[in-house]
A and B are shown apart, each in its own frame.
Chain A
Amino acid sequence: MTVDTHQAQRGWTGDAVPDLRSQFIRTTTELIDTDPRVAVVLAEISAAQFDEAGERHPDRVINVGIREQLMVSMAGGLALTGMRPIAHSFGAFVIERAWEQVKLDLDHQDVGAILVGSYGSYDWPAGGRTHQSPGDVALIDTLSDWVVHVPGHPAELDAQLRAAAADDTRVYLRIGGEPNPEAFPTEHDTWSVLRQGSAGTVVAVGPTLRNVLPAIAGLDVTVLYAPTVRPFDADTLRSTLREPRVVMVEPYLAGTSAAHVARALADLDHRQLGLGVADPDPHRYGTPADHDRLHGLDPRSLRQRISAFLAPRLRDTPQILGDM
């Protein structure tokens, strides 16, 4: 199967790593072929990429047209009969437009589904606010018992999606951002410890790692990588904590995980800094790189903000690299 990754259109670096949405289509197609419980519900978005799977399994590849509320409600109905539905559109439509359906037809019914939202916070800035969903994880946080995956690499997405398809939980798979060059383990939804330092902890969520790593080069900090944010891996955060100063770098609304950090460190005097999308509606177009800078999520801005926050504990702060 050939999938147009559209990476060039997005102004990304053009790494050999395929984009996350393409991997979602590949993995889901395999799941449809191998697991009779899996049903995919679409509202036109990505429907053409599932045409061949739909010919093989017309009862389990369902395109309802441009009807996102129906798509999510149908996912609830399918789950109520024992199926494992995967509903997919842009995050702005699968979560925000169909919000009451997510809340009532999945969460309130206490049934599981896998919701897959693409385009993230600003994968397509030229599309404007209508196609951006920086508030999606914050919305999911108002519900109960959801798993939220924010893969930063196609291999992570593949593993997360296969694990999700094999059980009955409520899962939001958030596809967005330029993939990281390297994949990390996703087993048990725990975070990877990339390195240990003494001035504080920086948690990079999903594709933010691409900019976080150059930003913290030479800084004496612990770096954790989180391809899953719900459940929140408080155990790894606590067990690796040397200095109770935590920076969460998230590819959605800044501070989305602040309550989770506070709860994890409730018995410690601590400080935290939440970095992420600063303005959900900046009324600006351009490229993802433009919006990285707009929200202070490019390597240079991240280094400045992380260094300033940790300054009292950083003995030496190497000069910001000129090529950032």
Chain B
Amino acid sequence: MTVSYAGLDRLMGLMTGDEKHGPSATSTLDVIWVLYDRILRITPQTVDDPGRDRFVVSKGHGPMAFYAVLAAKGFIDEDQLPGFGSYDSRLGHHPDRLLIPGVEFSSGSLGHGLPAAVGMAHGLLAQGLDSRVICLVGDAEFDEGSNSEAVVYAGSAGLANLTVVVIDNQSSTHGWPGGIGRRFMIDNWLTHDIDGRDHEAIARAFRNAAPDRPTAVIAHVEPKG
């Protein structure tokens, strides 16, 4: 049984114990919802289909929104949510792909998902698959130098099946002068700056991927504060 967007608050409320990552969780909620609701070609029945789209949550911090959407879409049972972070739970404070159906990449240490997503994009192309790889990172996570390696290379390689969405809640200590999007543009990425709470804008940005180079969606949300 699936749950609508309006039911996500209730699902997130079932998970307690990681309040320090609360803002991190709520900042991603709308983007993840729209992805699973309108964009990604993946269902609970196709989590092992080689032709599925891949969604990589690089910013593993605050996965409550991710888990809530997975539960809402039937990837995991709602009754698993209350045990969040406990010894017998599959749901940790950082997601583990070996424990949760539909999680493509185990994350937590920042700056790993995007470089791995570049490898996934290459792998899908090498196998002639038209699947997309969509990777979610945070604006503070983007501080990690490993992301720079991936952005420069993917832009140069023209990986059109790769889309990165940066959730920008202005939590990067030193910020990104001129905007994070500029960082992608100079490396040959198509860039969209959008309101990260506007579902139509989110869907439109993901549908308008470049045909010959990677796409970056900068999703602005309220500052972390």
Contacts and interface: CB of A to CB of B under 8 A. Distances in A.
B109 A104 contact: yes
A282 interface: no
A67 B153 contact: yes
B121 interface: yes
B124 interface: yes
Contacts of B145: 69
A64 B125 CA distance: 16
B38 to A, nearest CB: 24
A105 B123 contact: no
B127 A64 contact: no
B98 to A, nearest CB: 6
A169 B126 CA distance: 21
B142 to A, nearest CB: 15
Given A65-B153, A101-B112, A109-B105, A81 B146 contact: no
24 contacts: A59-B125, A64-B149, A69-B146, A70-B150, A73-B112, A73-B150, A74-B115, A74-B119, A77-B115, A77-B118, A77-B121, A77-B123, A79-B123, A80-B54, A80-B119, A81-B119, A83-B127, A85-B119, A100-B109, A104-B106, A104-B112, A109-B105, A109-B116, A110-B98
Nearest to B126: A59
A316 B128 CA distance: 67
A77 B159 CA distance: 14
A76 to B, nearest CB: 5
Interface of A: 36, 39, 41, 59-60, 62, 64-65, 67, 69-70, 73-83, 85, 100-101, 104-105, 108-110
A70 B112 contact: no
Contact of A39 (B54, B106, B122): B122
Contact of B50 (A36, A69, A82, A100): A82
Given A67-B149, A74-B115, A109-B106, A82 B123 contact: yes
B146 A73 contact: yes
A60 B124 CA distance: 11
A246 B104 CA distance: 45
Contacts of B126: 36, 39, 59-60, 78, 83
Interface residues of B, number: 29
A36 B109 CA distance: 32
B164 to A, nearest CB: 13
A34 B183 CA distance: 40
Most buried by A among B112, B115, B153: B115
Contact of A70 (B54, B109, B127, B149): B149
A74 B115 CA distance: 6
A170 to B, nearest CB: 15
B100 interface: no
B123 A73 contact: no
B122 A70 contact: no
B204 interface: no
Contact of B119 (A67, A75, A110): A75
Contacts of A64: 149, 153
B120 A81 contact: yes
Contact of B116 (A59, A73, A100, A110): A73
Interface string B69-113: 000000000000000000000000000011000001110010010
Contacts of A67: 149, 152-153
Nearest to B125: A59
Nearest to A81: B123
B122 A74 contact: yes
Contacts of A36: 126-127
Contacts of B54: 80-81
Nearest to B123: A81
A187 to B, nearest CB: 30
A216 B119 CA distance: 48
A77 B106 contact: no
The 7 lowest CB-CB distance pairs between A and B, nearest first, are A77-B119, A81-B123, A73-B115, A74-B119, A70-B149, A77-B116, A77-B120
